[in-house]
Structures are given as structure tokens and as C-alpha cells.
Structure 1
Amino acid sequence: MIQHFHFKPLYEHKQLPGWLISFFYKQQRYQAEYHKDGSIRFLGVAPAEDDLAVVEKMVHELMLFHVYD
């Protein structure tokens, strides 16, 4: 489960979609860029390969709830 999910716009004027996100998963902090096409680019450490699909699905659900609501 993702905990302490935060997001903020990548661009000052907010007309260009894109967000910097951060969260904890399995007691590890992750940072990533979430782009308007739904792609996620992890900055630094990325989740393990076997957790990656699960983490990306949870991030998409959180972004839909918080940003695209």
C-alpha cells in the first residue's frame, strides 16, 4: 500500500500537465514525474521489478482521484 502520497505541478503556470509525486511503499521513499500521458519516470530509486506494475496501478488510481476528479 502506498502511504504519504504527495503531488505538485511540474510547471509554474499549471497549463502544462505534469506532476512531481512522492510516496512511501514498503518503507521506501520514492519520487517520480507523472506525465499527462500517464507515464511515470522514477527519479533515483525505482520499485523492484516484481512490484513495479502494482505501484504504477496504485499511482494511476491516486492521480485519477486527486487530479482528474
Structure 2
Amino acid sequence: MLVHFQYKPLTVLGRKQKWAFSCYFESHFVSGIYHYNGDILWQTGPHDPTKQELLKKAVHDLMLYHVYESEHQPNV
């Protein structure tokens, strides 16, 4: 399970953005850089490829929700 997910933009010019993110995954601190194309440069993360793939999918889903979908929500 992924908890305490945080992110912040590193670059804001143009379409090739990237964000720093951090969270806890299975009680271990994880951090990295999420690129506009979905690539992740891990700073700390699981070494097990299966867990890394699970984490990558979870981070990708959260980034899609927080960054891309929230930009297009109408202000109510």
C-alpha cells in the first residue's frame, strides 16, 4: 500500500515537465522523479522488479489524477 504521497513540480516550462515525489510503500520511504512521459527515475525504491512495477503503476495513477485530471476540474 502506498501512503503519504507528495509531489512538487521541478520544471514548469513547456510540455516536458517533471515532478519530484515521495511516499511510503510497505513501510519503506520511496522517492524519485516522475517525467512527463511516465518514466520514473528512482532515488530510493524497491529492488524487487515485481514490487517496483506495482509501485510504478500506483505512482503513475496518482500523478494522472493529481496533476492531469485536477487541472481540468471546474472550480465549484
TM value normalised by structure 2: 0.80
- Larger helix proportion of the pair: 2
CA distance in 2, matches of 1:59, 1:46: 12
CA distance in 2, matches of 1:6, 1:15: 21
Once the 2 structures are TM-superposed, how far is the Cα of residue 65 of structure 1 from its aligned partner? 0.4
2:45 maps to what in 1? 46
Residue 8 (1) aligns with residue 18 (2): no
Once the 2 structures are TM-superposed, how far is the Cα of residue 7 of structure 1 from its aligned partner? 0.3
1:62 maps to what in 2? 62
**Alignment: residue pair count:** 66
RMSD of aligned Cα (Å) = 1.0
SS of the aligned residue for 1:38 comes to coil
Task: Identify unmatched segments of 5+ residues in structure 2.
Answer: 70-76
Task: Identify unmatched segments of 5+ residues in structure 1.
Answer: none
Higher Cα radius of gyration: 2
CA distance in 2, matches of 1:46, 1:28: 8
TM value normalised by structure 1: 0.88
Please tell me the residue identity of whatever aligns with 1:46. Answer: G
Q: Percent of aligned pairs with the same residue?
A: 33
Please tell me the residue identity of whatever aligns with 2:27. Answer: Q
